[in-house]
Structure formats: structure tokens, C-alpha cells
Amino acid sequence: MAYNTLNVPYGKTFELRLSDGTVVHLNAGSSITYPVEFIEGKNRQVSITGEAYVNVTKDSLHPFIVSLNDLNVRVLGTQFNVSAYPEDNVSEIVLVEGSVAMYGKKEKFNKEASVLLEPGFKGRFNKQNHGITKNKVITSTYTSWVNGKLVFRNMTFENILKKLERHYNVNIVNKNKTLSQKKFNANFGKEPLANVLNELKKYYGVQYGMPTKHKIPTLEKVLKLCKDKILVFLDKGYEYVPEVMFIVQKLNMQNQIFFEGKHNYSTIKSRYGTMLKDRNYMPRAKVNRDTAKFKNYVFPFLKSDARIFICSVDSAEVSYAKPFIQKIKSKNKKIMLTTLWGNTCAGYTDDAAVNNPEANWGKVIDLGADLICTDRPKMLLEYLRKKELHN
């Protein structure tokens, strides 16, 4: 069977008619993979990423199945909206008319075991625990985008910004993190972005700056420049793991990307499961006299596929650092120390290394550093080459 894949860029929508007459409206940043022709005697099956409104042509002999990540939606003839962007923690199905059944992608269809939706209901599939819930909703809130409208109902500011970015094909930087989880209600027709921002400012006091004249590269553009050249340490990436991993997997750069965080191993596993691989996470281990606390945090990571540890060493605890660092390195792990600030690296800093590199970067290397995080990369490279530690 031959397949086509259609990708819709940000700032655009697209209407597609399949070979059976089914009509699919695709929202910005969405994609669909579908057969060129559906085959007699087989289910009609498509895969969708992102958001789509689907008006399925009725055919009782050939069920229509939409695959979304780990979820299948099975219908005969119906109209429904699906939202399943990779960076979202849930996939949502809103039924306008007809009926649909929701069940796990790895499961065989079983009507009794599936979650059935009636018109006017929304089904939510949790990507982490694979649980499915449903509740009654106003369907027009979820389908208004088909007509170019934006409707936000009890939606977090964080999610509103995501929708605005897709709808207008822009990058929006939120510098007021206290707003992120606050919820808002708003309606917008086919209006320019400036009008939308002015309305948010007028009714909710949301302040915004003027668009920059400078082009800020997206993470995807930056990673493309780095591909197959260097390791990339995403300092704040841990706050956006689903969004970042979607781009990383798209570019096939899993072996170049590292996230840093203070969370313990069990927290990482429960929060992200297999989405965040052990090898992509750099645990931040603070060396101190509390050996039990250090061991409880570090040892589970030593048994994992984690490759690099960031160690934070207070100057008063430097005598304790080397044995712990050597313990980590004995498990074939790498150590990163940062000389940006003295309080994270026993008082050794880049500023002091300008005049005395041996007493700073040299000491860091003596502690066991395999990688050094610095804001003096050129000077550090010159020092390492003189020491024949870098080629």
C-alpha cells in the first residue's frame, strides 16, 4: 500500500479529501500520513500528529481508524476534532456527531473494553499513564479554529502562547513565569497578532513588548548547525522536555543532546518514562559531607545509562570531592565541572583563570573533570592545548 505524508507549517491550515471522501482539516504544525487509496476489505487507517477536524464518510464495512501516538480512535461515520501535538502531555478527542471508540494503540479493538464517546463529549488520553477520561464540553470551543477563530476557555497562559505561536508562525518569549499556569478566557476572530496581544493587555493586564527586528533562531535551526559536530548542553531544556525531544528526534540527534537537572532518578522516570532516555540526562550532584544523601542520589544514576554527571563542589568541601568523583568515574561515567561561578567549583573560576589558569582550570582537571563549562572557551582551549589535553 502506498502512503502520502502531508505536513502543515505554522501559520497555515489545510483541507484534505481522502480517497473515500473523508475530509480532514489540518491545523498549523500538524501532519497526516494516509494511503493513496483505501483497499477494499481492509480498515481505513491514517496517522495524525497535531490537530485535525475529521469528517468521516460513513462505511459500516470499513471502520475508520485514526492513530495518535499510543492511542487509536475508531469510527464508522462521524465528525470529531483531535488534538495530539507531540509536546502536549495529553491527546484530546472532541466528538461533534456520531460515535467513536478510544483504545490503546497496542491493544486489539474491543468494544466493551474501549472508552466510547457520545456527541458533546471530550475524551482525554494521558500519555504518561495511558489513562482515558471523558467529560461533557461545548464542542465549538474546540472546533472554532477550522473557521480561523481562536477560542480559549479556562486555558493556561502557557498553552495559549503555544497556540498563538502555531497560529501566527511566531516565537513568543514569556518572561513572566508566574503567568504560565494562570487560566484565561478569550475569543478572537481572524485578527492580527497585535490585536490579540492588545486584548490580553486590556482585559488581563498582560504586558508585552514590541516584536524584535532581530531574527531569533529557533532551537531547531540552532541544533541543525550543531548536528554531527558538537555535544549540546541544553541548560534550561529540562523545563521543556516534550517540546525539545520532539525536535531532537526529528533531527536524529539523541546522542548529542544533554539535559541537566537536580531531580532524582525515580522522579525522572515517573515524569517522563521512556521519553527522556537515561543517556540524555545529566544529574547535578552536590558534593558535601552528607555522604548518605550523596550516595542515595548518585547511585541509581550510576546503574543507569547516564553518561555525564555535573558535580557541584563547595570550597569548604573540596577534600571530599575527589573520592566521590573518582567513584563516579570508576563506573565509566564522565564528570562536568563548571567554572562560571566559584560557589559551584570550590572557588575556581574563569575570571581567576584569566591571570592564573593553572591554579584554577588546572585544579579543576586535578579534581577529575572530563568537561569544563566555561564562558572563556578560547582561553580554555589554548590552555588545554598547551597541556596536550586537547587536539
Shared domain for 132 and 16, answered yes or no, is yes
Residue in the structure block whose three cell numbers are 589554548: 382
pLDDT category at 98 given cuts 50, 70, 90 is: very high
Range of lowest pLDDT (37-41, 108-112, 162-166): 108-112
Residues 374 and 352 in one domain: yes
Residue 278 maps to which CATH number?
A: 3.20.20.190
CA 343 to chain centre: 31
Last residue of one domain, picked from the residues 122, 142, 162: 142
Alpha carbon 78 to chain centroid, angstroms? 31
Decide if 131 is inside a domain: yes
Range of the domain at 43: 3-142
Q: Flag whether pLDDT at 386 surpasses 80.
A: yes
- Domain annotation covers residue 218: no
The percent of residues above 70 in pLDDT, for the chain, comes to 97
123 and 104 within one domain: yes
CA distance 189 to 194: 13
Residue 346 DSSP code: T
pLDDT at 224: 93
Q: Judge whether residue 241 has pLDDT over 80.
A: yes
Q: Tell whether 160 and 132 lie within a shared domain.
A: no
Is residue 100 domain-shared with residue 84, that is, in the same domain?
Answer: yes
229 within a domain of the structure (yes/no): no
Residue 339 CB coordination number (10 Å): 26
Same domain? For 103 and 181 the reply is no
**Mean pLDDT, the chain, integer:** 89
| Confidence check: pLDDT of 380 > 90 | yes
Name the nearest CA neighbour of 257 among 219, 286, 214, 289: 219
- In a domain? residue 117: yes
Kindly report, residue by residue over 209-235, the tens digit of the pLDDT: 766 666 778 889 999 999 999 889 887
| pLDDT score for 316 | 64
Q: What is the 3-state secondary structure (H, E, C) of 56-122?
A: CCCCCCCCEEEEECCEEEEECCCEEEEEECCCCCEEEEEEEECCEEEEECCCCCCCCCCEEECCCEE
Q: Give CA–CA dist 309/325, Å, rounded.
A: 9
17 and 138 fall within a common domain:
yes
pLDDT of residue 213: 64
Q: How confident is the model at residue 260 (pLDDT cuts 50, 70, 90)?
A: confident
Say if residue 377 is in the same domain as residue 332: yes
Looking at the structure of the chain, the number of domains it has is 3
Q: What is 192-259 written as a DSSP string?
A: -HHHHHHHHHHHH----PPPPSS-PPPHHHHHHHHTTT--EEETTGGGGHHHHHHHHHHHT-TTTEEE
- Give the β-pairing of 371-373 and 121-126: unpaired
Classify 269 as helix, strand or coil.
helix
Does residue 82 sit in the same domain as residue 32? yes
Quote the pLDDT of residue 212.
66
- Based on C-alpha coordinates, what's the Rg of the chain? 26
Tell me, yes or no, whether 306 lies in a domain.
Answer: yes
311, β-bridge pairs: 285
Q: Is residue 172 part of a domain?
A: yes
Please say which residue of 142, 167, 190 terminates a domain: 142
- Can you give the pLDDT at residue 210? 67
- Helix, strand, coil shares, percent, the chain, to 5: 30, 30, 40
**25 and 146 in contact (C-beta within 8 Å)?**
yes
d(CA 225, CA 230): 9
Residue 256 lies in a domain: no
Average the pLDDT over each of 46-55, 167-176, 213-222 and give the range with the smallest value.
Answer: 213-222
Q: Would the pTM count as exceeding 0.75?
A: no
Q: Are residues 100 and 30 in the same domain?
A: yes
Write out pLDDT tens, residues 300-347: 999 998 888 888 887 666 777 888 888 899 999 999 999 988 888 888
Q: What is the pLDDT of residue 365?
A: 93
The domain that holds 57 is classified in CATH as 2.60.120.1440
CA dist., res. 17 & res. 19, Å (int)? 7
Evaluate whether 342 touches 315 at the Cβ level (below 8 Å): yes
Examine the domain organization and report whether 129 and 107 are in the same domain: yes
116-124 long-range contacts (CB < 8 A, ≥24 apart) are: 117/80, 117/93, 119/95, 120/95, 121/94, 121/95, 122/92, 122/93, 122/94, 122/95, 123/92, 123/93, 123/95, 124/90, 124/91, 124/92
Domain boundary pick from 88, 121, 142:
142
Residues 155 and 95 in one domain: no
Residue 29 belongs to some domain of the structure: yes
Query: Do residues 329 and 322 lie in contact, with contact meaning Cβ atoms separated by under 8 Å?
Result: no
* Confidence at residue 225, expressed as pLDDT on a 0 to 100 scale: 93
- DSSP letter at 35? E
